[in-house]
Structure 1
């Protein structure tokens, strides 16, 4: 009987509190009183029901974060660096640019769901070194727009416009790069709407599954995306990746390019990217850990093999768009903890060995030599406050095979880059 009376009294108290809540300016205090009463009654009622009612009263409150990342630089590069290589391209163009100016918005919608949006400039504000023109204003575009729902630690879904790559460097965040920019060949066929894969600065629309297994050591990603689509009937683009972390797990959706002494990472991964007869398979290795008393080392290496196939009859053929090739990539840097300096070197090589159907001509050897190129260089970073504020000085050269009267001659074109970054999120 005593138990029944106490239960009825509690129900009356809670009902009265609900009626008066609209006129009460201190709702938090009333909720706290109700929770305390439920705890006192837990000795007379079943513990599970008391805990359940208490959880129901603790309402989830959505949260939102707003940030920005800006890359501004002064640069000078030879006119042949951007791809219009010729034996006479020796002049140095120079200018100042706002290279990236992104607004980031993210938030937690529920205990298991979140969103992320990001804007960017479709082209730099300032001097366009490739053609010598100047942009004085640029309308921003939507770069990322994605929704994530975490069903469990081993299964999450991310839907919307997002970075798409089977390679680690292609899934890095711009704020955490070690070199001055992303690798040149990371997603060369997924950069713009007129690219073979019709991307948006490496982004594509679709749904991506992700999860962690084996005590978070093993990460998988598997997604379906729009890819190249001309009439709504194209095959889907499928991208997958598996990474194993031998040391600490990595759970950030976009990877870091360097961890500035805070890492203990040794990750090996393999992945694929395919649509129709096009496919890209590769493997990558990332190491970031303390090395000696002075600081930490960062190593990022990758190898990729890709081809557009040889089917020339399909509407969605990539045979004349993506030649058969291999791509090698290496970044190596050392971060000095006390001085906050980080020297680094970088090497990339694109070696094209196309089929006749891909070159569009029987002169395959000439096509391959003219299109193959490599990038190498290095730089020095100074971190005022980690990835939030830093300064980067770099020199990078791009090397081509130039046509001469006697055959082919290797020719390199240089680029100097002094960049300041500020980032907050």
Structure 2
């Protein structure tokens, strides 16, 4: 649940060339029901529902969004043959980097990374995801005294005519300190663990390729404080082929840089944080279509800078989060045909509670 205010253009900058007025409201976000359990000695299940849209937001016709039916967000079965080989089947979170595999209940910042999720969020996205989820089979295991983790999966991905190439996603990670074996990772551990993980990942379907490297550090630096750092770099492209299953016109060539940094004060239960994301598009000619390449790149590039303060009443059971985030874009001046950098702000006060 949260109260929010944001400038016109924050979500759709090209409809509001100048950041002027602020919208405001109260919303219900991520109202989820989680169910899980052990079915046998080696088999377990997990099911999670969610609201597909934010209650309290504005509909396209100007009315308030108040009647929202729950959807199945996750529905998966996991069988642990050995510690080194497990299979997870069903609808599950899919990503080639650690940030994209985090639990929403334990985020460091106010929300997930924006630019690392642009093509896998909704059914009309290029990869036809559902809040980062996809249907398929994921193999996972731990080796070398649980220091090394692998995830290798095959998923449906985008469907054109049900004869599409499948989507393949994988990640290799090495844990230098404590074990990090949660299926959905924590965005911060509040000083309760010592974690240093480096990962490499890939995500590919047909002409689409996405390669990622990520680093995560969560470490107590004193009896009263711990630092959390999460960083990632991605290169992705929809390719240049023009076949039926090509992603060339839906995913331009681009890079994404991502950074989150926070510090938890144990005595006061406060955690300030900052975040930075940069999306730089460098499209191929075929990806831009009839639009001038330089103009296309500027229209589709952008950055996010933000910060906030978390207060934990009961660790992740109940917490209050205040955040201010800005998004910057290149906005075209129709009179001069030149681009001007515009920055739009958003402020959230978010109350989150979680029990499972």
Which TM-score band applies after superposition, normalised by the shorter structure? over 0.9
Asked whether 1:390 is paired with 2:319, we answer: yes
Q: Shift of residue 321 of structure 1? A: 0.2
User: How far apart are the structure 1 equivalents of 2:62 and 2:209?
Assistant: 36
The answer on 1:281 being equivalent to 2:195 is no
Match in the other structure for 2:67: 137
Greater fraction helix: 1
After superposition, the C-alpha distances for 1:333-369 in whole angstroms (9 at most, x for unaligned) are 0000000000000000000000011011250100100
Could you tell me which residue of structure 2 aligns to residue 369 of structure 1?
Answer: 298
Per-residue CA shift, 1:82-117, capped at 9, x if unaligned?
124332452211000001100000010000000000
Larger CA Rg, structure 1 vs 2: 1
**Structure 2 Cα separation of the partners of residues 156 and 127 of structure 1:** 40
Task: Tell me if structure 2 keeps the 8 A contact 1:207–1:223.
Answer: yes
Q: Does 1:345 align with 2:289?
A: no
Query: Which residue is equivalent to 2:339?
Result: 408
Structure 1's 218 and 131: CA in aligned 2 closer, same or farther, altered over 3 A?
farther
Shift of 1:133: 4.2
8 Å contact 1:277–1:309 — kept in the other structure?
Answer: yes
Q: Secondary structure at the match of 1:333?
A: strand
Aligned partners of 1:77 and 1:129 also within 8 Å:
no
Report the secondary structure of 2:169's partner residue: strand
Q: Distance in 1 between matches of 2:252 and 2:220?
A: 40
Q: Against the structure 1 CA distance between its residues 129 and 256, is the aligned structure 2 distance closer, same or farther, given a 3 Å change threshold?
A: farther
How far apart are 1:194 and its partner, in Å?
0.6
Partner Cα separation in structure 2 for residue 341 and residue 418 of structure 1: 15
| Separation in structure 2 between the aligned mates of residue 131 and residue 163 of structure 1, nearest angstrom | 32
Q: 1:198-277 alignment to 2 at 5 Å?
A: 198-277=128-207
Cα pair 1:288 1:296 within 8 Å, conserved = yes
Partner SS, residue 391 of structure 1? strand
Give 1:119's aligned residue: 49
Q: Is the 8 A contact 2:280 2:301 kept in 1?
A: yes
Q: For the Cα contact (< 8 Å) 1:307–1:325, is it kept in 2?
A: yes
- Give the 3 Å change call, closer, same or farther, for CA 181–266 of structure 1 in structure 2: same
Q: 1:284, 1:81 → 2: CA distance?
A: 27
TM-superposed CA distance for 1:129, in Å, is 9.0
Distance 1:114 1:382 in 2: 33
1:37 aligned residue: none
1:131 positional shift: 8.5
Q: 1:82·1:130 contact (CA, 8 Å) conserved in 2?
A: no
Partner residue, 1:171 = 101
Return the match for 1:107 from 28, 33, 37.
37
Task: Tell me the matched-pair count.
Answer: 353
**Secondary structure at the counterpart of residue 135 of structure 1:** coil
Q: Take 2:302 and 2:35, find their aligned partners in 1: how far apart are those partners?
A: 38
RMSD: 1.3
Residue segments in structure 1 that go unaligned for 5+ positions in a row: 1-71
Worse overlay, 132-141 or 207-216: 132-141
1:295 corresponding residue in structure 2: 225
- Going from structure 1 to structure 2, the CA distance change for 1:131 and 1:95 (only over 3 Å counts) comes to farther
Match of 1:44 in 2: none
Paired residues of 2:255 and 2:281 also in contact (CA < 8 A): yes
Q: Which runs of 5+ in 2 are unaligned?
A: none
Distance 2:68 2:319 in 1: 25
- Is the 2:59–2:65 contact (alpha carbons within 8 Å) kept by the matching residues of 1? no
Write out the 4+ residue segments of structure 1 that deviate beyond 4 Å after TM superposition. Answer: 129-133
**1:66-88 C-alpha deviation (Å, 9 max, x unpaired):** xxxxxx00000011001243324
TM-score (norm 1): 0.81
